[in-house]
Amino acid sequence: MRAREPETILAKKRCNLVAGRPTWAEIDLDRIAHNLDVIRDRCGGHVQVLGVVKADAYGHGAVSIAHALARAGVERLGVASIAEAMELRQAGVTLPIVVLAGNYHQAEQLLQQNHLEPVIFRHEVLDALEASMDRNGDPLAVHVKVDTGMGRLGCALSEVESLVDRVQRSPLFSLAGVMSHFARASEVGPQTAQQFSEFTKCLEKSRWQGSLRHCANSAAIFADADYHLDMIRPGLCLYGVDPFESASDGRLLPVLSWWTRINTIRELPAGAAVGYGGRWVSRRPTRMGILPVGYADGYPWASEGRAEVVVRGQRVPVIGAISMDMTAVDLTDLVEVSELDPVALLGGDSGKAIGAKELSRWSGRLVYELLCGIGPRVTRVYRAGGLRQTGVLDLRVIQS
């Protein structure tokens, strides 16, 4: 994905003036649709898809991603909180939205009013919902969550039958699904198979018929077809990060690339120290570039001494301590380079692109953490169907 400076500046939540500080993320919405096709090929057409867009769609921008997924045909979306769901509803997203994190305190009425689907994991949650619901309103669709080994939210295996039965008998609720979540799906070992076995056993004892059974996250989708059941919950793989090294045979494409431009070039003599602490010292005359990006933008401070970026199709090393707002790179080995040249921090020219897993290894941070941590000072620029726009891109404006 090559860099182009954004042409349009819109006053949106996650925008800044790129002309004043040229650091931006390019999000290719056509690749979202492509990755969804890869995932559907893995699962078959009978399996529904809940696209996970929590945490601002892993830093990609929840509203634009949600519209892209709706256009591509997902059946549901998943968010962490009612606030995240309300952002989508206010932006015109009409798909069913599952609120995954289980915190509804003092906001229960919003679930029913906005046709949101909460995750239920104990009777006390149902008690609170019943107390706040409009008896004349539509029944509230819910998903009962079972703890099969994750150890967070979820009812005990012994409680599944009573929770499901209560939901099925109540005129206030409808049972949309019964779900669980794997703790170690990306690891080789028996734990995930054991969790799945526990989940299927509890389903045999409950009246789940007519609802969706779901437990597969990104790793589980590619680990074993048995885990797909009625619906899958892809997150990271939607954004083009393979949960294993080659589970998708390279078909998943990264959706986000992160760019900046060289602000200043300086010539340093041998023996010059760069950055806080002076930990990097030039061993030769060095051409140094200063980039207007730092850890306040989400670029990982802990990648010092290991990270690389791409300039003019070549990788160059990051040097010195990464600052809050600036990062230094060694440009000495480039034949040609100029101020304002684009620099790929993540992604970039094919063959030399910086992968999310690579940056993760350099920094010791999870890929999830890196993507979610790309901050609000980094302008999001969306591309789809020949359109390119800074700020939210609603794919409903593109005719099918």
The separation between CA 367 and the C-alpha centre of its own chain, rounded to angstroms, equals: 9
Instruction: For residues 1 and 383, give the distance between their C-alpha atoms in angstroms, rounded to a whole number.
Output: 11
CA distance 54 to 372: 10
Can you tell me the distance from the alpha carbon of 30 to that of 386, in angstroms, rounded to the nearest whole number?
10
> Environment class of residue 66 by beta-carbon count within 10 Å: exposed (0-12), middle (13-18) or buried (19+)?
buried
> Residue 180 and residue 206: Cα distance in Å, rounded?
14
Contact 192, 184 (CB under 8 A): yes
Tokens 């030769």 found at: 284
Catalytic (active site) residue 382: no
- Cα 103 to Cα 85: distance, rounded to the nearest angstrom: 12
Contact 144, 120 (CB under 8 A): yes
Examine the residue annotation and report whether 205 is marked as an active-site residue of this protein: no
Which 8-state DSSP code applies to residue 275?
S
Q: What is the maximal distance between C-alpha atoms in the chain?
A: 78
Residue 119: its H or E element:
strand 116-120
Which among 54, 239, 299, 382 is annotated as catalytic?
54
Residue from 13, 201, 205, 276 carrying the catalytic annotation: 276
Strand, coil or helix: what is 171? coil
What are the catalytic residues?
A: 54, 276
